[in-house]
Structure 1
Amino acid sequence: MIDVGRSLWHEPRPDDVPPVGRPDWLLAGGFALAAVVEGVVRPDLTWRPLMIVLALALVPALLWRRASPLVATLVGWGVAGVLSVVQLAASTDDLGLFSMMSVLVLLYALVRWGSGREMAAGTAYVALVVALGMYASATGSADVFGGIVLLLLVAALAVVFRYRADLWQRQRREIRNEERVALARELHDTVAHHVSAIAVQAQAGGAVASVQPERAVEVLAAIESEASRTLAEMRSMVRVLREDEAAVYAPGPGVADLSALARTDATPTVEVSLHGSLTRLARPVDTAVYRLAQESLTNAVRHARSATRVGIDVRREGGSVRLRVTDDGHTASGPTTEPGFGLLGMAERAHLLGGSLSAGPGPDGGWVVEAVLPAETA
């Protein structure tokens, strides 16, 4: 239990805090309008001008609630505390505007976006203000119970969304790491293949140097070319990590192997089209195009209902390579705001190589996956 408390105390703020946007301004403006309208038309309101001013003091707090959740909570719930003190001093049973219930939004923001220390300090402050308000209003036991349940529900909802987002971020990081490992492993295999070729060329050069010196010059040129290409590919992936696993010293499949994915004897049929010069791609890009096409084909076969055809089109466009995989089926589910982990992994691989990937319904039906990668990695 102590360890759990320490973990919560040291909990950092989420790193995906969105900036103030149009919905926030609409929320603040809507609250301000509601507070003014209620303050004007409500007949039983005591100290009407003061109540409207205090209500409008919550507007900045609503805008700050994500960037500075603790400050916003102190300001917003501080207004509620001031109302409780005024209520005690005036011996009034009912004071304040119903629109001030927006302080619940600040409690949600504190738990959703605050750090562990901010949550601890803010919730303690809120509990103190709530206790003061209940004492000032002489609230009955039923109202006390209902108010506590409401506060706990708001906090619980914030906790659910906070840790759901945290889990999503962790899964994305895991996918990114897996793709980095896969790229590093493929680079390791490719470099090992090139080094093996260099070693063979060097041995051949040593054998012919004394008999055919001119042949030795050709061998040295071949070694230089192979070494330069190897260094270029190593530099393109210099900071990619890999796991210590046994490796097969041979380059992985590439664009030239895509033809093996074509088939006409099963449904859906698979058609592969290659256009332009696709023979001098950087090895990581060459392998990535194959992997992306293979994964897209697998997804189409699994998830595209009633599909009869899958098309794989690869073409060279200047300094880029464009991969487009289409099917004529029906997707099992509509578009979602959170793509599946397979698509996330494909997108991470494309981004790591300096490219992009998009996936969604096609204009004529079916599903389209399109990736654009640089022919030479940065």
Structure 2
Amino acid sequence: MRKAVSTLKYGLAAALCLGSVAAAVPALAQVSDDKVKIGVLTDMSGQWADMNGPGSLLAAQMAAADFGGKVLGKPIEIIGADHLHKADVGVGIARRWIENEQVDAISDVTNSAIALAVQQLTREKDRVALFSSPGTTDLTGKQCSPTGVQWVYDNYSNAIGPIKALIDKGNDTFFIVTADFAFGHSLEKIASEAIKANGGKVVGSIRHPFGANDLSAFLLPAQASKAKVIVLATAGKDMTTAIKQASEFGITAGGQILTAPVMFISDVHALGLDTAQGISFIEGFYWDQNDETRAFAKRFYEQRKAMPTALQAGVYSSITHYLKAIEAAGTDEAKAVSAKMRELPVNDFFAKNGKVREDGRMVHDMLLVQVKKPSESKGPWDYYTIVATVPGDQAFLPLDKSECSLVKK
């Protein structure tokens, strides 16, 4: 009898001990598949690869490593893929990642058309989407999602400020050269509305195919229009090609102004200061802004041999915030994490007192920059003069104007 009581006592003690351990780490049981897996879906080899691509994958890997490689005691895994700027390829990769490879979040997603499709898929499959690269405002507008966030910029933030500044200086007629896909269409619409709202006039527009090697057929009508400003509603190599050819055709020498709302430091680097000097645009991040940005950029440069773009820095920041939200929520379940992302402030080298709104827009201060003259630059990658800081509540579309169904009005 004593032996039976003794066995029972030890059995109860063991059970109580195991129970206390389980109570101490309930969050561990809430991580699906015993790991947090993040897929970086981007342009690894095409015309936008320099501004995101392998650099975005590196930024994601740095974020995971800096977080300690684990969250809630479970490993963080980063994978990447090239969507080739094809919607069917991009969505196919995203679907395979979610359904077969247990990916919890999809990051970056260059190309607005692909991003909108991924937004729909992650909404249906209860996964998180961390958009750093796409510019379409539909991601936080009529196609918003409770599990999607848009981190760095959008077409509204980058078009409104420069256009208003140009009109205020008397440059009131515009011709728009547009990339013929979702990103360009969105940017053209927002630019046109901003021009008209500020008393300007759109005298013409034309759309070019993605990846065109020669944009002369689209620039010459802009030149012939005599518009004071030519808006390049395009990005990447299409945009740098347009700027180079505008210089060759004497467009800028003839007095017409170019504005490139969606431009990044990789574009300036590709153009060179001789060609890019004087261009003003809105940026979400600049590596030489302060000690924190320089510290991150130095580590990034050591591995990439290029300074980080705003998009790449945004990948790091959004993934770090996502991991913090998992830790705070005690689970990697998409809706719970997304809700926590909206609760927690964003405070890192990328943004101070940033806020993810209910529509998924991460609101943070933006920078109005001007490209330096060659004589003003102190060396490689010293490309910007920061003209002004645009407060986040002025940079982005006001929440009360959002078309997102998640916004209470």
Tell me if TM exceeds 0.5: no
The structure whose Rg is larger is 1
Structure (1/2) with the larger strand percentage: 2
TM-score, normalisation: structure 2: 0.21
Structure (1/2) with the larger helix percentage: 1
| Structure number with higher relative contact order (C-alpha < 8 Å, ≥ 6 residues apart) | 2
